[in-house]
Amino acid sequence: MRIILLGAPGSGKGTQAALLAEELGIPAISTGEMLRQAVAAGTPLGEKVKQVMSSGDLVDDATMGEVVKERLARKDANEGFILDGYPRTLAQADLLTEILEEMESELDGVLYLQVPEAVLVERILGRRRADDTEGVIRQRLVVYKRQTQPLVEYYKQRGKLTAIDGDRLIEEVAGAFLEALGRKVNA
């Protein structure tokens, strides 16, 4: 299975990615993990990423595409993967489609975790991180809506999107994900 998880900050993507990965026996791959692994590998691409990140800039779409392509080519992703945090933009979504076509593969689905904004803010504030002030959180949600929300329509138009209500117990959300993927939910 080749799956993308979409959802706003605080929606529970990371938690659900880990649960799904364990259940499906495929890696959950986050953008941050991909970047850290590229840097740790010390490859020319990793060095390029390291320079961009150390300057405080965001990794551009083309470089991010190279990182994703390198990560998806690893043996553990042969049977599938769960992408968490990529793509973030329409340009990245198009690039991912190209990468998968080169690999003679395609997405099986995009799971969209829907959570009301008030719940997102409450969850993130509950983490009690220093940089998680309500103003910062709301700004991150504005950026998410502007950059990432268009992906919902993009994948809906391609018949790949399944929306899941993420405002419930972790286990219930995980069960809904597995059901959406056509898997039997473990009792």
What does the pLDDT look like over 5-63, one tens digit per residue?
999 999 999 999 999 999 999 999 998 888 888 899 898 888 988 888 888 777 889 99
Could you say which architecture CATH assigns to the domain 2-179?
Answer: 3-Layer(aba) Sandwich (3.40)
- Region 89-98: what's the mean pLDDT? 95
Annotated catalytic residue, options 127, 146, 158, 168: 127
Instruction: Please identify which residue in the block is written with the tokens 């117990």.
Output: 169
Phi-psi region of 30 (alpha: psi -120 to 50; beta: other; left: phi over 0): beta
User: What is the model's pLDDT at position 26?
Assistant: 96
- Region 70-85: what's the mean pLDDT? 94
Q: Is 13 considered catalytic here?
A: yes
User: What is the model's pLDDT at position 153?
Assistant: 94
Q: Is 129 considered catalytic here?
A: yes
Q: Which residues pair with 4 in a beta bridge?
A: 83, 110
Annotated catalytic residue, options 2, 71, 123, 140: 140
User: What is the model's pLDDT at position 187?
Assistant: 33
CA distance to 9, 46, 86, 89, 101, per residue, from 120 (Å): 7, 33, 20, 21, 35
- pLDDT higher than threshold 80 for residue 73: yes
Mean pLDDT of the chain: 90
Q: Is 74 considered catalytic here?
A: no
Phi-psi region of 76 (alpha: psi -120 to 50; beta: other; left: phi over 0): alpha
User: What is the model's pLDDT at position 183?
Assistant: 59
- pLDDT higher than threshold 70 for residue 185: no
Lowest mean pLDDT among 80-89, 156-165, 177-186: 177-186
Annotated catalytic residue, options 2, 71, 88, 123: 88
Annotated catalytic residue, options 74, 129, 145, 146: 129
Domain boundaries, the chain: 2-179
Secondary structure letter of residue 85 according to DSSP: S
- Region 71-86: what's the mean pLDDT? 94
- pLDDT higher than threshold 70 for residue 114: yes
User: What is the model's pLDDT at position 52?
Assistant: 85
Q: Which residues contact 112 (CB under 8 A, 6 or more apart)?
A: 6, 7, 152, 155, 161, 162, 163, 164
User: What is the model's pLDDT at position 85?
Assistant: 87
Annotated catalytic residue, options 2, 13, 71, 123: 13
Contact call for residues 82 and 21 (beta carbons, < 8 A)? yes
User: What is the model's pLDDT at position 76?
Assistant: 95
Contact call for residues 147 and 88 (beta carbons, < 8 A)? yes
Q: What is the side-by-side order of every strand in the sheet holding 81-84?
A: 28-30, 81-84, 2-7, 109-114, 161-165
- pLDDT higher than threshold 50 for residue 1: yes
Q: Which residue has the higher pLDDT, 49 or 151?
A: 151
